[in-house]
Each structure stands twice: as structure tokens, then as C-alpha cells.
Amino acid sequence: MSAVVAAVLVAAVLPWTSGRRPRGTPRARDEVHGPVDEVLLLDVLDAALSSGAPVPRALQVVGACVGGDDGAALARAAGALVLGASWDRAWAGSTSACAALADALEPAWTSGVSPGPLLRAEADRLRRERRTAARAAAATLGVRLVLPLGLCFLPAFVLLGLVPMVVSLASGLVR
């Protein structure tokens, strides 16, 4: 039995120790793109803009780093803005994460307002909404758990607490 366990452990550990990787596991340099969090996107773009980069260049760099659909939308918007497209036309067809970013950056592009406070305010608003939603979900979870817990604990209490007492009382009355 111990030989079987040792063989399974060696087979499980061998691909990682030999420098090979099991199929389906991405390498560190492989790009794995999924949806990007809007708050993270706002924070990263705020950092890029506060370093002194112009809006199109910051969008292009962040888009290249983010990758995926969101990164392509940011790079496309940056290229369109550099070529002189209007703000709405540059952001046409962008993802939902990029739409929140575009709404926060529009006054900076059209009116010359500093983009940093706008991006931070939008990120704070999204964080507040998420906190509120998480608190509401936690509050409703407590209410939803009462019935299953009651259905589990009540029979256990009756079987382990009341039935032995009733049986002992009944056996005392039968004598």
C-alpha cells in the first residue's frame, strides 16, 4: 500500500521537479486574459497619468499591459484620439470596463480638467457600490441560513436531547 502512495506522489511531483509542466497549466510568460476589474483599470490609468503621460499614451500603455478585449479597446481608443477622432467615436464599441473609464476621462479630454481626481472619484464610487452590495448580500445570507440550520439542528436536538430523556422517563414509568 505504501508503494502505491509513493508512486502516486512521485507521479504528481515529477512534472514540476523535472522542469516540465503538466498539460493545461499556463507558463508564467503565457498570457491569460480575462475580464479586467474596472477599479483596477481606473487605478492603473491614474498611476500612468500622474506620472506625466498624456491621455492617449497612457491608454496605449495600459492597454498593452492589460491585453485581451479591454486592452484592445484601450489601444483602439488611444489610436483614434491621436488621429483626431471625437471622444465618443474613439470609445465606440468598447467594453463595459472601458466605458466606465471613458466616462471618467471625458471631462479631462474635452475640458482640460485634471484626470487624477476624476479617476480616483470614479474608483471610490465603484468601491462604495461593491461594499454596499457585499453588505446587503451578507445580511440576506443570515436570513437565508436560518431555515436550513433549523431543519438540520432541530431534528438533531430532538433525537439527541429529547428522545433519550423521554425514553428514560418512559422506562421509569413502565417499571
pLDDT digits (tens, 9 = 90+) for 116-152: 899 999 999 999 999 999 999 998 988 888 888 888 8
The reply to whether 50 falls in a domain is yes
pLDDT > 60? residue 14: no
The reply to whether 92 falls in a domain is yes
What's the pLDDT at 35?
Answer: 73
The reply to whether 16 falls in a domain is no
Nearest to 102 by CA among 119, 79, 85, 114: 119
What's the pLDDT at 21?
Answer: 52
174 vs 158, which has greater pLDDT?
A: 158
State which residues form the domain around 122: 38-130
The reply to whether 142 falls in a domain is no
32 vs 136, which has greater pLDDT?
A: 136
Give the 3-state secondary structure of residue 59.
Answer: helix
pLDDT > 90? residue 60: yes
CA distance 104 to 123: 9
The reply to whether 143 falls in a domain is no
What's the pLDDT at 152?
Answer: 85
Is residue 49 within 8 A of residue 119, CB to CB? The reply is yes
In order of 23, 71, 104, the CA distances from 128 in angstroms are 41, 25, 16
The reply to whether 122 falls in a domain is yes
pLDDT > 60? residue 62: yes
pTM of the model: 0.64
What's the pLDDT at 137?
Answer: 93
What's the pLDDT at 66?
Answer: 87
- Count of domains observed in the chain: 1
CA distance 61 to 163: 71
Which stretch, 45-49, 99-103, 151-155, has highest mean pLDDT? 45-49
- Mean pLDDT value of segment 7-15: 52
What's the pLDDT at 33?
Answer: 60
The reply to whether 105 falls in a domain is yes
